[in-house]
Amino acid sequence: MYSGNGELTPVIIYSKRTINEIRDCIIENYGQIKYELPFINAVSVEIPKEKIEKLSAYKMIGSISEDAIVSKAPIFARTRKVQTKCGNYPDDMERIYGSVERGKGVGVAVIDTGVSPHYDLVKPYNRIVAFKDLLADKELPYDDDGHGTHVAGIIAGNGYTSCKYTGTAPCASVIAIKALDESGNGTESDILAALQWIVNNGPIYNIRVINLSLGIKVEPSYDDDPLIKGANAAVRHGYSVVTAAGNNGPGKCTINSPGTSPLVITVGAADLTHCEENGEIKVAGFSSRGPTLAGDSKPDLVAPGVDICSLDGKNPKGYAVQSGTSMAAPVVSGVAACLYATRPNLTPAQVKQILVQEALPIEKEDRFAQGRGLLNYKMFLNL
């Protein structure tokens, strides 16, 4: 095993065939493997910077990519106090628990900062059915940032505490994989390891949807982008991957990876805060725009992403308001879960087609801002 003192660089190494052919060579000559990622025929490892060129010449090595930093994608957050007792308890309970068949039986994987056991996820019964901590290997669910809990609530919160704030799939199961730290940052290999865990364990929890409210700036070398490779592989394994477009707007060509992948469902943020006053819906100014560097039209659609009230990761009975495409993506993830609950034989491509085709065009917004339009949420209420 390599025991030198040179500066180590985190990289992702792709095999031309399988990782078995490169594993021993890497361990013996370069360093300890951090993650094995057979679903994309790759490993992540830290190797001496000066040895990267030599390793790349090895005949079984396909390519080597930098293991870059990935971050969550919110704009701001603030807490909001809500009434914890329902004003009309029987009617409210009937409204909430009578409608929570939406998403029932479907698992949604949330790769994020973790998830806290908020009442809206664990009462009247626990719907956090699995938790995997890639950073500290803790067994019990936790969220030291709060972003992942907010995202999970937008997907699967049932309104137990407020009788008001519910997710789009309030009966879905949550599978939380902690791959981002207390600051909302992680590495590409952490995200890939989370995807590998889902590929390995997805059938156990009936995971059908993966939510990625995170991203990284796209580099010109599209084909070598690790997140895109991972997201594409997950889709090919039968999972709908829903990802935030990014908060780099309003300029064009600002979509984050892996949202630039043509296989994933890329979601921008719509601003509905003035809709009740004047009926006006806009794409949020911060929402990233297309096209991609490859010329593809992105985002695919937009969903509400401004002043979204969901679960407070620091208070098991509290709520917080956040804005960003991080909040828009889980709105769509929940609806995708509803589609799978009612039509389990759908493929990821079919789910994407339904969501995009039913989207409602927004006047005065171009296609590179809104994609095909605003998520047609009302149509899915009865799923």
Residues that are catalytic: 112, 147, 326
**Contact criterion met (CB below 8 Å) for 337 and 169:** yes
Convert 161-173 to b/e letters by CB count within 10 Å (16 or more is b): bbbebbbbbbbbb
**Dihedral angle computed from the Cα positions of residues 249, 253, 257 and 259, in that order, rounded to the nearest 10 degrees:** 80
Q: Which residue has the tokens 């960003």?
A: 324
Residue 196 to residue 271: CA distance in whole angstroms: 34
Amino acid type, 160? Y
Ramachandran bin of 259, using left for φ above 0, alpha for ψ from -120 to 50, beta for the remaining angles: alpha
What order do you get walking across the sheet with 319-323 strand by strand?
76-80, 319-323, 308-311
Q: Which residues pair with 69 in a beta bridge?
A: 187
